[in-house]
Structure 1
């Protein structure tokens, strides 16, 4: 259906656009990091030329080591729980980085490779203290970049999980909506079949009303919410069909009150409740049957109360009335998926040989 297809496209678009890291994000990140680091060391040594040169040497090393860790070492070792191998390779990588950085700085920038270190060690070359400080500094950069990558990955996976849950709910709602129509038409077509066997003159009228219902179902079930008045019109058409079937043996009392205008409801939500009265009530009874339907709207809430005579066979055999089979279980599930728990209240019970369904729903 058109609306469902559009919803699927929207969910796919959201999934593909959320938390996606592009090449431009990488460039912007390292550019900002380079600028801040240059300002930091330039102000510390009061020598911005030296800071730019050392950062031009250091940053390619930062980037190479960070991406080597993020895109190779972690997937290959950390995600496979090979922690000792991972730690060993990281330490070896830091040591190689140390040698490369030391030699590039010594031969291209200054023989004093550690001006921020103790004065007495100036010009001492590759010392243990310099090695430890440089490796820890590089580990800090790698850890910072890795933390960002892990955070973004977690956000993306969490977003995918959320989208998957929405897709599952949407798919289940689609199934439940589509389940209403075949179930409804199955019973109505049985009615028409019975009339045609009897060669009843009522058959054309039934077919005409059924076509009206089909028109409603064709358009109403495409929408998440439908006008309440249209839903009630559908109910009245359905009841008219059943009146034709049961003739004078069926007594139906209907009461409608309140302002129905500008009120919305999930399509085909109420029809299964009415259908349930006929399927599990009227069609099993021998003798007079009584169905009461009361529909009212007050304070943005719909109060829908329907009751039917419990079949004589069930009363005599003391069999508890079923909770409605496909019809009522469908309504329960659609309420759970389509409404907040505070926005509806569904009560199903038996009293004085009558089966009652009371629904309070925000509209």
Structure 2
């Protein structure tokens, strides 16, 4: 499926039915308005028919030719020149049509003492046309602005999802590379655990490749995945002490997939070299009315490992970027070294 967004364009195609509906309503409104004002609905209907024919031509000439050609390209002087020329042209077109089809006097509704053609008549007709053109142009520009905004929002969303998928994909090769290295070591040792590692690895690959394609998954599924991952590490390492404490109800909570894995990987990366095994304590907490999920992981570390910092490694930097893309600033992530342990605390919003 091609998800590449198309170019952002100015001319959003408004369906024809909306054009027809707009001009019909506007024609009826003006006919009733001026027919009531002059107490001559027949003349109002005929004169507005001519006026609206001219107005439609002027409006579409303005919004589909003058605006794209001059306004959007910031060519002010040519635009002003064409507005003046267009106003004169459509004045004579409208005046001539009224003379031929409506009334020889051209301006029977004029105030006493004023005749057409003349300066007052020209000003009245042109201002009336500019009023309609400005009104229609405002509608068109508003529709185009909304269309462009929607396209930009969609583009931003696609870019966001692309980056999230990229960051998420960085986790999987790193994990599989480490596991294959462990499997290789076990095969060299002709360990009985090697076949078990293959089975566990296939289960995890099935989860990663087929079950985490959604933007969010059930937290319980993610916990099962974490358990499988730790079980896989237990086959490789002899001394692992692992505890998982769940506080509150997490059955209905959905989270981004593979969000917690870097924290678990970090435990083994920096805790597995102590020679005394790895101790991992994980706490998940979701309390009623809180609308937040609290994740706390604590693991022993090798005090001689100079690569350990309070900020974590590349994997945790990856997590921070994902969290920002997903939640902007609506999350809390704290990491640090306390009493010989690396501690990471994460708080993310969840649906009520």
Question: Normalised by the size of structure 2, how large is the TM-score?
Answer: 0.89
Match in the other structure for 2:343:
356
Corresponding position of 1:148: 139
Q: Which residue of 1 aligns with 2:276?
A: 288
1:162-311 equivalences under 5 Å are 162-247=153-238, 250-258=239-247, 259-282=249-272, 285-299=273-287, 301-311=292-302
Aligned to 1:333: 321
User: Relative to structure 1, is the Cα distance of residues 361 and 155 closer, same or farther in structure 2, using a 3 angstrom cutoff?
Assistant: closer
Partner residue, 2:75: 82
Question: Residue 277 of structure 1: CA displacement?
Answer: 1.1
Aligned residue in 2 for 1:106: 99
1:294–1:304 Cα contact (<8 Å) kept: yes
- Equivalent residue pairs, number: 343
Q: 1:321 to 1:281 in 2, by over 3 A?
A: farther
CA RMSD of the aligned region, Å?
A: 2.5
By how many angstroms is 1:357 displaced?
1.0
Contact 1:220 1:267 in 2 (8 A): no
- Partner of 2:332, secondary structure, is strand
Q: Structure 1 130/294 Cα, relative in aligned 2: closer, same or farther at 3 Å? A: same
Q: Residue 304 of structure 2 aligns to a residue in which SS?
A: helix
Question: Any idea what the Cα deviations from partners look like across 1:204-237, whole Å, max 9, x if unmatched?
Answer: 0111111121222233312222222222222122
Change (3 A) 1:29 1:184: same
Q: CA deviation at 1:65?
A: 1.0
**Aligned 8 A contact 1:293 1:304 in 2:** no
Cα 1:270–1:143 shift into 2, 3 Å: same
Q: 1:257 is paired with a residue of what secondary structure?
A: strand
TM-score, structure 1 as length reference? 0.86
Matching residue of 1:118:
111
C-alpha distance after superposition, 1:80-104 (max 9, x if no partner): 2221221112111111212222222
Specify whether residues 83 and 360 from structure 1 end up closer, same or farther in structure 2 by C-alpha distance, changes over 3 A only.
closer
Deviation at 1:130, TM superposition (A): 0.8
Q: Distance in 2 between matches of 1:322 and 1:358?
A: 12
Structure 2 gap ranges (5+): none
8 A Cα contact 1:176 1:330, kept in partner: yes
> What corresponds to 1:157 in structure 2?
148
Question: Contact 2:95–2:106 at 8 Å: present in 1 too?
Answer: yes
Q: Partners of 2:144 and 2:286 in 1: how far apart?
A: 49
Distance 1:150 1:260 in 2: 48
CA deviation profile, 1:223-259 (whole Å, cap 9, x unmatched): 2222222222221221122122121xx3423132334
